[in-house]
C-alpha cells in the first residue's frame, strides 16, 4: 500500500459512580427527562461544585491500569463554548495538569503485538442530551455532570483493525478495574477518531476528526471510510481540510459538520470554584495494591494453570463477565478445557444469535459446571449435552433436572443394549459381512443405526464393544 | 501586546456579544488600557516562582459518592424561557 493511515483516538467513558461529578444527583440511566438535576448541574448562579471522591479514585485506577504517571498535583479548568446541551456555557474539564499522563497499552492484532501510547487521561463532566423532532430541540439535563474520563492516545494506530483492538482493550481494562460499566448502547463508551493519511516516510498529513462513535463496528467502518476518502481527495489533487465530520453508521459515510464552533478557541482557565487535587504516594500505592486482576494477568494464569492456548485465553479474558463465569465454572467441574469450549462454542453462538449477554443466559456457572460433569461421568454424551444446553437457555432448569425430565441419560445397560444391537445386525446382514471381511467402516454405520434408534442416548463406546461381541453370536 | 479591532470583534463573537460597529474603537481603547495595566506583571522576574494553580491555599475538597434527592422536574424547569415535553426547549439545533 502506498499510503499510511495515522490514527489517534479520544475515548470518553462514563464512570460507574452513584452520583454526578460535582453534585449528589443520581447518574442512573433511563430516568424521566430532567428528574436528576439540581442547581449545581443546571448551572444556576451562586452554586458551588464539590468534586466526587470516587471520580478521583476511578481516574487513578484507570491511569495505573494503563501504565500512566499519576499526577501528584492536578486541577480542574473551564472549557468555554456555547451549545444548548451545556447549561453553564462551559464544561469543567482538565487542561494543562491532567490527573494521568504518559501511559501505554499493548494490543494484539493477528498475533502481532504493538504498544499504543497514551498521552493523557483527564476527568471532566458530561453534557446534557438533546432530543430533536420536527417541532424543535429539547434538552434533557439528566446527563449533565455525569463523570467522564477522556483517554487521549498518541497517533500510534495504523489501521482500522488496530483502532478497534485498542478500543476493545480499553473497554476490557475499564470493565476489569470496575471504573466503568462500558454499556455501549447507553453511551458509556464513545470514541472520537483523529485520522490523517500520508505517503510512507512523509510528515503527518492534515487530520480530520469524527466524533461520538458508539460501537466497535462504527469505529472500524468510520476509519475505513475516512481513510479512503482522504486518499481519494489527495489523488484528485485536493487538499485535506482540517474539520470535524459526523459519521452516519446507517449510510456508512461521513459528512462535514460546518455549524459547530468555527475555531477551537475554548479559552481554558482554572475553575475558581474547585481547588487542586493533591495525591500522596500512599494514596496511589493503596489503589494500586487493591486493583482487581487485569485481563492480561488472568490470561497468563489461564495458560499456565490450565494449559489453555494463547488464543482461547485471549477470547475468554476479552470480557470480564465471560472470564468470571469461566472461572466459576471451572471451580465446579475442574475441567478448564471443556468449560472453555462450551463458552467459546455453543454458548457464545447462542448468545450472539439471541443478542444477549452471559448474565441474561438464564443459567449459572454452577449449572454449566454440572453439565460438564454429566458428560465427563458419561451420564450423557456430548451431543446430548448440546440439547441440554439449549434447554438450559430456554427454561433455565438445572442440567440434571433436564436430563431426568426428558429421559436423556445415556443407555449403559448392556443387557438392554445388546438386544438392540443384535436386532440391528440381523436387519443389516451386508454390513455385518463387510465388517467380517475387515471393512472397519461398516461398524460406524451400525453404531449410527443404534444411535438413531435410541435418539442418541446409547453409550457409543459400549455399542462398539457390543457389536464386536455379537459378531461371534450371529 | 497591542489590541486590535479584529481582536475585539473576535472576542465579542466568541462571547456571543453583539457590539455596535462604531463602538469597536472605544472597546479597543478601554480593553487595551486594561491589558496594558496587567502587562506590568510581565516585567516581574518570575524565574524561581512556581505557577499558581489556585489563589486559595486549599486542596482536596471532596465529597462522598452518596446520592441526594434532585429537584422536582417542575422546579428544575420553572425558570426556563421555554419548556415542553419535560425538557428545556432550546433553539433548534441542526446536527
Ligand atoms: Zn445535580
Asked if the model's pLDDT at residue A252 lies above 50, the reply is yes
Q: Is B41 on the interface with A (CB under 8 A)?
A: no
Identify the CATH number of the domain in which residue A456 sits: 1.10.10.410
A388 and A422 housed in the same domain: no
Asked if A148 and A84 count as a contact pair (C-beta separation under 8 A), the reply is no
Q: How far is CA A279 from CA A30, A180, A286, A287, A439, in A?
A: 34, 22, 11, 11, 78
Asked if the model's pLDDT at residue B94 lies above 80, the reply is no
pLDDT band (50, 70, 90) for residue A213: very high
Asked if A125 and A85 count as a contact pair (C-beta separation under 8 A), the reply is no
A92 and A135 housed in the same domain: yes
A193 and A328 housed in the same domain: no
pLDDT at A470: 86
Query: How far is residue A364's CA from residue A370's CA, in Å, rounded to a whole number?
Result: 10
Residues 6+ apart with CB under 8 A from A398: A367, A370
Asked if the model's pLDDT at residue A263 lies above 70, the reply is no
Q: How large is the average pLDDT for residues A155-182?
A: 95
Is A51's CB within 8 Å of B90's CB?
no
A10 and A52 housed in the same domain: yes
Minimal C-alpha gap between A253 and chain B (Å): 15
- Nearest CA among A102, A80, A104 for reference residue A90: A80
pLDDT in tens, A71-82: 999 999 999 998
Is B65's CB within 8 Å of A19's CB?
yes
pLDDT band (50, 70, 90) for residue A261: very low
Asked if the model's pLDDT at residue A257 lies above 80, the reply is no
Asked if A151 and A121 count as a contact pair (C-beta separation under 8 A), the reply is yes
Return the minimum-mean-pLDDT range out of A66-75, A153-162, A288-297.
A288-297
Asked if the model's pLDDT at residue A94 lies above 90, the reply is yes
pLDDT at A259: 44
Mean confidence (pLDDT) of chain B: 91
Beta carbons within 10 angstroms of residue A278's beta carbon: 14
DSSP 3-state assignment of A465? helix
pLDDT at A437: 87
A126 and A74 housed in the same domain: yes
Say how many Å lie between the CA of residue A38 and the centre of ligand 1: 4
Q: Is A34 on the interface with B (CB under 8 A)?
A: yes
Asked if the model's pLDDT at residue A373 lies above 90, the reply is yes
Q: Is A26 on the interface with B (CB under 8 A)?
A: yes
C-alpha cell at A375: 458428560
> pTM here?
0.82
Helical segments of A334-408, H only = 336-342, 348-354, 365-376, 382-395, 399-405
Asked if the model's pLDDT at residue A258 lies above 80, the reply is no
Asked if A52 and A21 count as a contact pair (C-beta separation under 8 A), the reply is yes
- Last residue of one domain, picked from the residues A405, A424, A447: A405
Asked if the model's pLDDT at residue A260 lies above 50, the reply is no
C-alpha cell at B43: 516585567
Closest residue, chain A, to B89 (C-alpha): A138
Pairing between β-strand A147-153 and β-strand A3-14 as defined by DSSP bridges: antiparallel
Query: How far is residue A255's CA from residue A208's CA, in Å, rounded to a whole number?
Result: 11
A315 and A277 housed in the same domain: no
pLDDT in tens, A4-20: 999 999 999 999 999 99
A332 and A440 housed in the same domain: no
A218 and A356 housed in the same domain: no
User: What residues pair up with A277 in beta bridges, in sequence order?
Assistant: A74
Backbone torsions φ then ψ of A43, nearest 5 degrees: 70, 35
Residues in chain A closer than 8 A to B77 (CB atoms): 34
pLDDT at A39: 97
CA angle A360–A362–A365, rounded 5-degree value: 100
Number of structural domains found in chain A: 3
pLDDT at A51: 98
pLDDT band (50, 70, 90) for residue A305: very high
3-state secondary structure A268-282: CEECCCCCCEECCHH
What ipTM does this complex have? 0.91
Is A131's CB within 8 Å of B87's CB?
yes
Query: How far is residue A326's CA from residue A299's CA, in Å, rounded to a whole number?
Result: 12
Asked if the model's pLDDT at residue A206 lies above 80, the reply is yes
pLDDT at A262: 54
Asked if A67 and A104 count as a contact pair (C-beta separation under 8 A), the reply is yes
Query: How far is residue A160's CA from residue A181's CA, in Å, rounded to a whole number?
Result: 24
Q: Side by side, which strands form the sheet with A269-270?
A: A90-93, A77-80, A269-270
- Residue A397 lies in domain: 293-405
The fraction of chain A above a pLDDT of 90, given in percent, is 70
A202 and A348 housed in the same domain: no
3-state secondary structure A149-178: EEEEECCCECCHHHHHHHHHHHHHHHHHCC
pLDDT in tens, A408-460: 887 777 777 888 888 889 888 888 889 888 888 888 898 888 888 888 888 88
Residue among B62, B87, B91 minimizing CB distance to A34? B87
pLDDT in tens, B26-69: 999 999 999 999 999 889 999 998 888 888 889 999 999 999 99
Query: How far is residue A137's CA from residue B94's CA, in Å, rounded to a whole number?
Result: 9
pLDDT at A407: 82
Mean confidence (pLDDT) of chain A: 92
A374 and A447 housed in the same domain: no
pLDDT in tens, A281-302: 999 999 999 999 999 999 999 9
Q: How far is CA A445 from CA A250, A375, A431, A432, A435, in A?
A: 51, 24, 8, 10, 10
Asked if A383 and A390 count as a contact pair (C-beta separation under 8 A), the reply is no
Tell me the angle at which helices A160-176 and A320-333 cross, rounded to the nearest 10 degrees.
60
Minimal C-alpha gap between B49 and chain A (Å): 16
Asked if the model's pLDDT at residue B1 lies above 70, the reply is no
Beta-carbon neighbours within 5 Å of ion ligand 1: A 23, 25, 38, 40-41
Amino acid at each position: 500500500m502506498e499510503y499510511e493511515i495515522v490514527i489517534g483516538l479520544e475515548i470518553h467513558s462514563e464512570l460507574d459512580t452513584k452520583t454526578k461529578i460535582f453534585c449528589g444527583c443520581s447518574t442512573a440511566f433511563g430516568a424521566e427527562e430532567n428528574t436528576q438535576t439540581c442547581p449545581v448541574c443546571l448551572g444556576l448562579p451562586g452554586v458551588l461544585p464539590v468534586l466526587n471522591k470516587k471520580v478521583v479514585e476511578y481516574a487513578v485506577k484507570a491511569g495505573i491500569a494503563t501504565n500512566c504517571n499519576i499526577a501528584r498535583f492536578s486541577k480542574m479548568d473551564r472549557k468555554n463554548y456555547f451549545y444548548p446541551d451545556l447549561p453553564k456555557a462551559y464544561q469543567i474539564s482538565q487542561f494543562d495538569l491532567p490527573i494521568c499522563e504518559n501511559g501505554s497499552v499493548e494490543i494484539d492484532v493477528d498475533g502481532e503485538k504493538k504498544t499504543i501510547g497514551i498521552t493523557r487521561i483527564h476527568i471532566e463532566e458530561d453534557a446534557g442530551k438533546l432530543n430533536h423532532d420536527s417541532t424543535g430541540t429539547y434538552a434533557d439535563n439528566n446527563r449533565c455532570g455525569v463523570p467522564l474520563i477522556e483517554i487521549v492516545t498518541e497517533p500510534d494506530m495504523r489501521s482500522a483493525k488496530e483502532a478497534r483492538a485498542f478500543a476493545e482493550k480499553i473497554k476490557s481494562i475499564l470493565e476489569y478495574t470496575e471504573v466503568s460499566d462500558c454499556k455501549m448502547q447507553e453511551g458509556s463508551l464513545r470514541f472520537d477518531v483523529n485520522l490523517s493519511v500520508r505517503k510512507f516516510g512523509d510528515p503527518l498529513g492534515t487530520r480530520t476528526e469524527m466524533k461520538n462513535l458508539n460501537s466497535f463496528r462504527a469505529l472500524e467502518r468510520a476509519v475505513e471510510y475516512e481513510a479512503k476518502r482522504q486518499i481519494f481527495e489527495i489523488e484528485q489533487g485536493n487538499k485535506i481540510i482540517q474539520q470535524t465530520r459526523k459519521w452516519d453508521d446507517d449510510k456508512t459515510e461521513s459528512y462535514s459538520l460546518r455549524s459547530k464552533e468555527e475555531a477551537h478557541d475554548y479559552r481554558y482557565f482554572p475553575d475558581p470554584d474547585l481547588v487542586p487535587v493533591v495525591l500522596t504516594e500512599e494514596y496511589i500505592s493503596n489503589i494500586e495494591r487493591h486493583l482487581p486482576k487485569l485481563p492480561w494477568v488472568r490470561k497468563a494464569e489461564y495458560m499456565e494453570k490450565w494449559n489453555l492456548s494463547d488464543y482461547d485465553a485471549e477470547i475468554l479474558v476479552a470480557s470480564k463477565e465471560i472470564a468470571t463465569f469461566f472461572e466459576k465454572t471451572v471451580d465446579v467441574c475442574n475441567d478448564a478445557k471443556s468449560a472453555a469450549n462450551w463458552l467459546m462454542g455453543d454458548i457464545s453462538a447462542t448468545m450472539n444469535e439471541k443478542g444477549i449477554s452471559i448474565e441474561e443466559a438464564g443459567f449459572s456457572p454452577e449449572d454449566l459446571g454440572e453439565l460438564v460433569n454429566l458428560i465427563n461421568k458419561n451420564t450423557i454424551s456430548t451431543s446430548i449435552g448440546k440439547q441440554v444446553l439449549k434447554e438450559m437457555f430456554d427454561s433455565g432448569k438445572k442440567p440434571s433436572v433436564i436430563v431426568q425430565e426428558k429421559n436423556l441419560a445415556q443407555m449403559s445397560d448392556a443387557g438392554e443394549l445388546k438386544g438392540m444391537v443384535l436386532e440391528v445386525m440381523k436387519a443389516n446382514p451386508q454390513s455385518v459381512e463387510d465388517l467380517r471381511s475387515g471393512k472397519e467402516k461398516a461398524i460406524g454405520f451400525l453404531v449410527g443405526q443404534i444411535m438413531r434408534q435410541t435418539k442418541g442416548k446409547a453409550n457409543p463406546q459400549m455399542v462398539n464393544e457390543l457389536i464386536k461381541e455379537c459378531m461371534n453370536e450371529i | 501586546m497591542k489590541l486590535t479591532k479584529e481582536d475585539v470583534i473576535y472576542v465579542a463573537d466568541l462571547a456571543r456579544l453583539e457590539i455596535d460597529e462604531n463602538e469597536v474603537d472605544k472597546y479597543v481603547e478601554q480593553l487595551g488600557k486594561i491589558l496594558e495595566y496587567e502587562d506590568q506583571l510581565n516585567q516581574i522576574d518570575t524565574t524561581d516562582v512556581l505557577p499558581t494553580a489556585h489563589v486559595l491555599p486549599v486542596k482536596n475538597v471532596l465529597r462522598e459518592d452518596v446520592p441526594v434527592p434532585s429537584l422536582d422536574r417542575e422546579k428544575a424547569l420553572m425558570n426556563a424561557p421555554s419548556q415542553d415535553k419535560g425538557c428545556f426547549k432550546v433553539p433548534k439545533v441542526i446536527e
